[in-house]
Structure 1
């Protein structure tokens, strides 16, 4: 896999000049060589023509020269390719915009203490995979006591009341469960992304909560999944988006930040 090395626009190591630009280009075999590796599948059987098509596609992507390093049939009429080559594109790091964590990362003990002292009741959390999504690995990693990568899930936090509805939950069922459980927060995991299903489901969910609950009564809406863009929260009508690699501790810390220590009225 290629890495990015900080460079100047002329290819020499970058200097932070008056413009404030920080230019990087991909790193493959040698510093600043612009080498990248990409993989893709084409709906064609594996033969010489298919390999030529893969190289042509790579050229159109700006990879020149493009070296085909792997080609393998993927069932009838499909071929998987790996292409290695050079690109001339540069990236200005000073122009990159990402969603930074704007709240402190707390331990389970700190989360429990804050909820108990300031909320004076258990913080109610309802979680689910909505629509036709049957992949519970994401929601279970955050909610189940076993957690993920050695970090315990939210069920481990004694001051959090967790309701895990599981998979393939309809939006009306989720809204009703949130009402019954008097949810402070609703966590939704979306893994299936074909035809942007995760985006459609999220918009449907946020619209349903706004229609069903008055201003100030809506629970915090949080979604997560490997293909979400964390900067799309406002566009999708939710309060927060978590991407791949999110831990239960990050989610718990955010919930406490938003609902306990930094409580603000949210526009419904």
Structure 2
């Protein structure tokens, strides 16, 4: 059976186009606020729209959940995503490759930069306890991990990367107000380009729930990881980018 290339949202029955949406309006909860929520839903293409939940959120704000039908279709053939283009390795395999091919420990420096104080993401990747049953990069005996923590300035990050002779720099960004995560990432990438020549720069990797993984080139980094990323994925990518791909490229250059 061929895969459907064009699909419609599913709610109660197949193809009914029903979706659920939540949002907050800066108005106190009353009948007028509920009417405003339905008006917004209608302007966004819900027809009919039903208000299924409304609750006061502090002074002068109301949170809404609306449910209704939309006529929009999704063309799966036009969807663009970043597919994993490297094998997913175990900790044992990562350690073996680093030891055999790099012949030294792979140095990783991680931080939350700017005013971002949310270290849950970077800690989940770096700290030995890890996340979802997976150990963090500190668990990998052939990786040397330096976790700088939160609210690290870009100059401090560059200096730490230089001091630790970092092969890779991992940055987590959760705060997204006024696109702070994008501004901080661009600033970081520019700082590393200015501070280090192309062949000496570490791999630049950013992660966070609001990043578009397709924007790596635009932001000046090597890779973007989104929500749900595990330490194993990051470790596997490091080996792929810093050892497997680089050594294959070097062999081709020497052969030429």
Normalised by the size of structure 1, how large is the TM-score? 0.91
Post-superposition shift, 1:94?
1.1
SS of residue matched to 2:169: strand
Hey, what's the Cα distance between the residues in 2 that align with 1:77 and 1:261?
A: 56
Hey, what's the Cα distance between the residues in 2 that align with 1:84 and 1:236?
A: 36
Q: Which of the residues 137, 151, 158 maps onto 2:141? A: 158
**Counterpart position of 1:241:** 224
Post-superposition shift, 1:15?
6.1
**Counterpart position of 2:51:** 68
**Counterpart position of 1:225:** 208
**Counterpart position of 1:142:** 125
Q: Which of the residues 5, 12, 31 maps onto 2:14? A: 31
Hey, what's the Cα distance between the residues in 2 that align with 1:215 and 1:33?
A: 53
Normalised by the size of structure 2, how large is the TM-score? 0.95
**Counterpart position of 2:178:** 195
Given the alignment of the two structures, is residue 182 of structure 1 paired with residue 188 of structure 2, yes or no? no
* Change beyond 3 A, Cα 1:140–1:64: same
Given the alignment of the two structures, is residue 125 of structure 1 paired with residue 108 of structure 2, yes or no? yes
More helix by share: 2
Task: Write out per-residue CA displacement over residues 140-185 of structure 1, whole angstroms, 9 at most, x where no aligned residue.
Answer: 0000000001100000000000000000000000000000000000
Hey, what's the Cα distance between the residues in 2 that align with 1:73 and 1:95?
A: 39
**Counterpart position of 1:47:** 30
Displaced runs of 4 or more, over 4 A: none
Hey, what's the Cα distance between the residues in 1 that align with 2:25 and 2:52?
A: 15
Hey, what's the Cα distance between the residues in 2 that align with 1:124 and 1:32?
A: 51
